[in-house]
Structure 1
């Protein structure tokens, strides 16, 4: 790991963090995390189900009913999201919809999911 970083300064090593605090959702979990100065960056991957705005507006208020509605909706899209940020400020995102599940149909950019990028950066502050 250290040797790879010496050869390639942008080498990243994935370390799965165990023993995370209990949280109701990803946003709450990220808000509770902070990393020591020895951690250069952080990334998170997540799968989400999204609906078009008109379908989202009709979602029931009750959480259990909303989940059933979401999972059964014919216009739902399953999306995989990866967001990372370095302590120095650089960020990157990758999005892939299950309906377009091929390597050449991945969206990339530094700020595709701004709220999640901000939450990841906050863990490094």
Structure 2
């Protein structure tokens, strides 16, 4: 019996969502899909779900058109925790970079005003 469901999943910053379940795979992680979704917005992907094994999702890779196996993201698993730490690290790096850019702009503004007063 064929219990496969073809559908459209959505790549979000939290994972690939299909039927309200979040999945992840090596292709998405290596391609930084979740970070890109956070920055550029969500996008759709074609998926196949075997209803007899709903914890695994087959994703049709948009670049290679190959099937890629994805697994459910469970927050209390090691994989889910690693993904959460990855997102937190990215956010901390972005925040630190943003603060550095603000400080740099302030220094440039102060330097320009001092130069202006000297003239």
What is the TM-score normalised by the length of structure 2?
A: 0.29
**Whose radius of gyration is greater, 1 or 2?**
2
Q: Which of the pair is proportionally richer in helix? A: 2
Higher relative contact order (CA 8 A, sep 6+): 1
Q: Which of the pair is proportionally richer in strand? A: 2
What is the TM-score normalised by the length of structure 1?
A: 0.28
